[in-house]
Every structure is written in structure tokens, then in C-alpha cells.
Chain A
Amino acid sequence: MTSRTTTKDKVQIGLTPAATHHIARVMESGWFEDRQAAYRTAIAVALAHGLAAQDDEMANVTTAYNFVGGIDKDGRLRALIGALAPAEAARPAAYSERLAQAGLAYLSDRLSDDSASLSEILAPPDIAIGAGKSSSE
């Protein structure tokens, strides 16, 4: 068990300067109602592709959302992390922040490339990722 599992989870999550830049570009695509929708989708994309930022990438995070009362107010995100990444189930907020960091970079890069459509970018990978695998494991 890593040290993260023993540390208390975050209450507020946010964006690093790089993620702030990426989410702005993602919003320019016009496919998302608001930044929270883009943030959640980025988490799902990262989880699907087995992407998650390392701890050392998460410096200078600017708080943006309350996890339980905002990004995951219906608890679905926690349910998915519990089912698909049980190793991170104890700290879903911190894990979501790292997933969002990687997912926003991925989305920003793919959406700026005209060769792929939205549904191609968001296509679920055919080969399932290893359950609970994270880049920090």
C-alpha cells in the first residue's frame, strides 16, 4: 500500500498552470457546456487510457472545484474509481485531479488535431486497461 492510501484525501481539487492552459483549449472546441463538464470528461478519458499524472507534475495547483459538493456531487466518479481503480478508492479526489491533469493534456492535443472527430477521440478503447492501474503504481 502506498503512502497515498494512508493520507487523508483532498477536499478541493484544481488545475495546474498546464492544465489551465489545456482546459482553455478544450473549451475552444465548443463541445462542452462548461469547464466542469470538460474536467469530468478528461478524468474519464484518462481512466480509459490508463493515464494519470505523477505527483511531481502536480505543483502549483490552483483550487477550482469542491470534489464532493461539485465535481462529484452525485458520487458517480467515486463509484467508478472504486470499481475500476480500487487501489485509488481511498483518495478519489486526489486521483481525479491527477487523472484530469493527464486527460486534459490528451484532449487538448487530440481536439486541436483536425484529423480526428470528437467521437473518435472519446471512443472507448477496445482493450480494457488494467483495473486500478495508475501511473503512480
Chain B
Amino acid sequence: MRLQRIVLENFGPYYGRHDVDLTVSQAAPVVLIHGENERGKTSFANALRWCLYKTVFESDGAPVKTFELMNWEALQGASYNMAVQLEFEHDGANYVLERRVQASRKPTSDQDLEWHEVLRKGGHVQPASNIDRAVRDILPMEISKFFLFDGEMLNHFKVLLRDPGRNAELVKQSIEQILGVPALQRTSVSLEVLRRAAEQRQLQEAKLRRNHERLIADAQQKQNHFDALERDIAHQKEIQQRLEQEREALRERRNQFAEIQGDLRRLEELEAELKGNLEEREETKAEIKELLAESWWIPLEHIIRARFDAAAASAAAESELRARRAELRGQLNGIRQAEQAGVCTTCGNGLSSDARSRLRSAGETLEQEIASLDISSKNGSVLETVTHLRPFTGQQLHKLLVEKENHTKRLAIQAHRLERDAREIRDRVRTDPRAEIADIEQKYDGCVAQLVAANGLLNDTIAQQRETYAILQRLQAQIRALPDANRKLAAEAAVFGSLKNIFDISIGRFRDQLRSVVERHAKEVHSKLTTEPGYVGLKINDQYGLMLVNDQGRDILRRSAGSEQIVALSLITALNRAADREAPVVMDTPLGRLDRGHRTNILRFAGEFGPQVILLVQSGELDRERDLADIRPYLSREYKIERTGASDRSRISPIGSV
């Protein structure tokens, strides 16, 4: 298949009709289309896909609704139609495929669209019912990912080829479809059908012979059992597949809830913290109430303390004065006694008149001092004050009140923060999905359990079928050996059985050969594309996954994103070379992840990717001034996609002459 022309009409950003010549020569197979982001490169590639397969997929694999592909401006202007016309050559015949949708009013779903499809081969209109089959014969959609792909898809190949699960098997099947393995497999299946038919006829004929009825009945029963088991296996595989799909869907839904679950856990924590906070606040408030009830004199605390301290000091001072007065009185009494007796109270000797005069004078001085001591008459009331106020002077009650109140304030601020955080989460999680999450978890676990049971049942059934097959073959051999058996039919069944075995062996060998051819091509392409001197080769595995090998012959397990892309490009080019059909390679943004060295290598090699190569690039990956020289020898046509005026319209126009 080689593309010759594409005509877009109101497709994506392409308003009106855009006619693009895609013819290339054998020596210069490349068409280069420049366009910045959001200009319409992917829409151009999508137009090709849509025209061929009537459908377009998002990068995550979800199908895009056709009415969403229609040009917005055309719809605003009441032009409710979109069309893509593709002219191409295949196996020496010229084809024109046109798909068109239109609506009588502005479409809001694909149901509003009316489809018109025409396929002309050599100028002759083909029956409409044959269009999809014809396209499928030329380039099946399943393998189109190896011809029409965007740069990001290269990464998908890496994932698919490394994943040992179902996806890798699907990729392997697609690859083998390109390489032509299914034709051989179909032959093998056909041979098996023929063998069984011969055996069936053999059984029917043998049935007529009454003397072998028991053997025939046994064989018939086993054959029936074998067929029933086969139907069971097919049915169980269907169930298995359905359960796997269901499990994946549930897993995806469960993953979607992972973030919400985190939020809900945090919300539960916040609610628990809020509850604790509220309880603590209530507790502290109760303590404050109790404090006020039992120590209601808090507002008087300083006054009480000041008054108590003053009264206590006053009482202490008075007490000191009284002690001093008692002491002075004692001294005065001693003087008066000595004076009256005329004898010294210490030594007992008589006192001279001079000594008596000194004693009198000392007594008078003491009397004056005693009289000067001011003893308050209020001593009783001061002591009473001290006694009354003492019970109020224990703790620092106001300080305690401040501490407790500050604690409630801190708790209130904390509660406010917690409430705010909880509110933010509640705003995010509008409806409480806990019940839904629990339901999904339960369904997921149930589905996994069913899948395990289904796998077990399937394995059992397959084992039973093998066993039945062995018994059946033994019985068939006995029937063939019967003296009155139909030798021709027996030989026919034996030949078909042997042929099937030979085919199965051949398919295995053919696969090995194909893998070896693909590996050889991939190795050669990779050596031209890579800039890493340490990588000396590639090794292919059963899944068509490619491993890089270093100069020591060891596998290189860690590969950069750019290196992965080079490996994927090598595989795709190798598949195109080894394929049993020829198709254009259309690459959307293929150089985005690559460094300059790899980009240069790819551009220099672009002419060898396939018989026709359409590259859709943006300035970040291919600078026209700098890089064009690398690709110019292979370039047949060069276009530019650009905006027209201030609108969202895009147009595609040729750049100079190549």
C-alpha cells in the first residue's frame, strides 16, 4: 500500500477542503510535515486512521467519538459535514476510499450522524458491504499500530513487549499477523478439521458394521465427550476473558479511589482529633467552672495578698516592740532593786552615793526609752485580719485561670484548623464514597476468586480433554485396524493427522526463522541508529521483545527512554522489512524523546524505514535550518501546518519545491 493523496474536509482543525499530495519516489520515500503543537499534526494522522478504520483512539486507548472530530467552526456555520478521501495504490491497483459523515442539525452524539462510504478500485465502485473487509485485507487495524503511530506509542511498545501478561501476547499475535504466521496456523487448524471429518465418516461407516458396535459406540462417545470438552474450554475461555476484563475494570476503578481513600483516612483522623479536642475543651471549661465556683474571690486575689502581707508585717513589728519593752522593763526592775537596797546585785558590796546616783540616771533613761516604744492598741484587729485572710492566700488562682483559659484558646484555634482541613477534604469528596469503595473492593475480591476458580476449572478441563484425546486416538487406532474398516477413510484421517503434526512443527520452525530474520534486520537498523558505542547488538525473545547486548555479550537491563525508543524503531523497521505486506510508515512526533545524535541518525536513516515514510514533526524535534540537510536526499515532499489568522483554523501547505 502506498498513499497518493489525502483530502480533508472539516476534519479537526482543518476547516473547508485541504488537498495534500503524498506521492513519493522510490529513491526519496519521505514526506515531511512541519507543525507546532496544537496545530493539527495528530489530527492529520487521525484523519488517515479514521478514513481507513472509521475510528480514532485517544493515547490511553479510549475511542474518540466521531462527532467530536468535526471542525468546530464549520459546525458553528451550520456545515454539519466532515469527510476524508484517501487515494492509494495496492498490489498494482489504484483505490479511492472516501468516508463522509453529515447531520441535519448540529450533532451532539454519533447517533446524529449519517455515514456515506465509497471505495473505488481501478475506478469501479465496490459494494458498500465489502469496504471494511477490503480495507482489512489491505492493512488490518490490529497491525496498523506498526505503521501509523505517534512518538508516545514507541513507549507503549516497550511496555507491551516487556509485560509477560495478556498485552504481550496480543502484541505477539499482531506481529505474527504482519509476518504471515496466521496463514500457516489456519492451515493447521483446517487440517485438524479435515482429520476429524474423516474420522467422523470413518466412525459412521464403521457403525454400520454390527460386530464392532461396542468399539464404535465407545469411540463415538469419546468423540462426543471430546467435542463437548472443547466447547466447554471455549466457553470457559470466554468466561476467563470476561472475568479478566472485569477484574481490570475494577482494578482501574479501585485505583481511581486510591486518592479519595487517602483523603477519607485523613478525614477520619481529623474527625477523631476534633472529637478529642472538643472533649478536652469541655473538660477544661468544666475545670474553669469548678475553679470559679470554689475560688470565687479570684478578682480580689491581689488585694487579699497585699492586705494579708501588710497585716502580717504589722503584727510581726508589734511583736518585736513588745519583746523589746519586756527586756527593758527587766533591766529597769534590776536597777530599781539595787538602788533601793544600796547593794550591788552582782557582787553584794555596798553602793557608794556616786554609784547610786548613776543608777538613778540609768533608770530614768530606760524609763524614757520604754515610754518611746509605740505599741499599737489595734494589735487584736491586725491578728484577726491575718487569721481571716490566711485561707485565701494559698495558690495563685488567677494565674491558674489564665493558664486554663489559654489552654481552651489554643484548643479552639487547633479545632478551627482541624475543621478547616476537614472542610477542604469534604469539599473535595462531595459525596461519601466509602460504601461504593467497599462495594468495589468486595466485587474485586469476588472477581479474583472467580477468576482463580475459572482458571482451575479451565486447566482441569484441558487436562481432561488431553486424556480423552489420548483414549480417542487409541480407539481410532483399533477401529482402523478392524479387518472390515474402510482403509481409504482410515488413511485419509491418518494423513490429515500427520500433516497437521508436520504443519505444527513447521510453524514452530517458521516462527524461529522469522524471529531470526526480524532480529537480523533489527540489529542492522539499530547499529545505524544508535550513538552508544558499547551496544553491539540486539537479541530477540519469544515475545519479539528486543534486548540490548554489550560488547561482553551481556544483556543491558537498564535502558534510557531515548534508547528504548531507538530499540522500538529498530523493531518496527525490521518488522516492515520482514512483513508479508507493504505499507506506509506514518510517524507523529517521533523524535521528541531523543538527543541530537539519535535524531540525526534517524533523519539520515528515515528513507529506509519503509517504502513510504510520512514524518509529522515540530520545531523542537526537527529544526528546519539545522536538520533538513540530514533528510533532504530522501525527501519527496515537504509541508507546513499553520494557523490561519487569529482563528483556530489550520491549513496545510507545501514548502517550496523539494
Contacts and interface: CB of A to CB of B under 8 A. Distances in A.
A97 to B, nearest CB: 16
Interface residues of A, number: 32
Interface string B301-339: 111101100010000000000000000000000000000
A124 B304 CA distance: 10
A83 B299 contact: no
A121 to B, nearest CB: 9
Interface residues on chain B, size class: 20 to 34
Interface in A33-47: 33-34, 37, 40-41, 43-45, 47
B579 interface: no
Interface in A57-89: 76, 79-80, 82-84, 86
B389 to A, nearest CB: 5
A36 to B, nearest CB: 8
Interface string B278-314: 0000000100111011001111111110110001000
B391 interface: yes
B303 A84 contact: yes
A122 B299 contact: yes
Q: Does more than half of chain B's interface fall in helix, strand or loop, or is it mixed?
A: helix
Interface in A9-62: 30-34, 37, 40-41, 43-45, 47-49
A47 B300 contact: yes
A84 B405 contact: no
A56 to B, nearest CB: 26
Contact of A118 (B293, B385, B388, B405): B405
A62 to B, nearest CB: 22
A84 B307 contact: yes
A81 B285 CA distance: 29
A79 B393 CA distance: 13
B398 interface: yes
A44 B299 contact: yes
Contact of A48 (B285, B299, B311, B402): B299
A41 B293 CA distance: 8
B292 A32 contact: yes
A31 B392 contact: no
B292 A31 contact: yes
A126 interface: yes
B290 A33 contact: yes
B401 interface: yes
A83 B401 contact: no
Interface string A93-128: 000000000000000000000000111001111101
B315 to A, nearest CB: 13
A117 B401 CA distance: 11
B306 A32 contact: no
A40 B391 CA distance: 17
16 contacts: A37-B289, A40-B296, A41-B296, A47-B300, A47-B303, A48-B300, A76-B297, A80-B297, A82-B384, A83-B307, A118-B401, A122-B299, A122-B401, A123-B398, A124-B303, A128-B302
Given A43-B296, A49-B299, A117-B409, 9 more contacts: A31-B292, A34-B293, A79-B389, A82-B388, A122-B299, A124-B301, A124-B398, A126-B302, A131-B307
Nearest 10 pairs of A and B residues by beta carbon: A124-B302, A40-B296, A48-B299, A37-B293, A79-B388, A83-B388, A119-B402, A128-B303, A124-B301, A45-B299
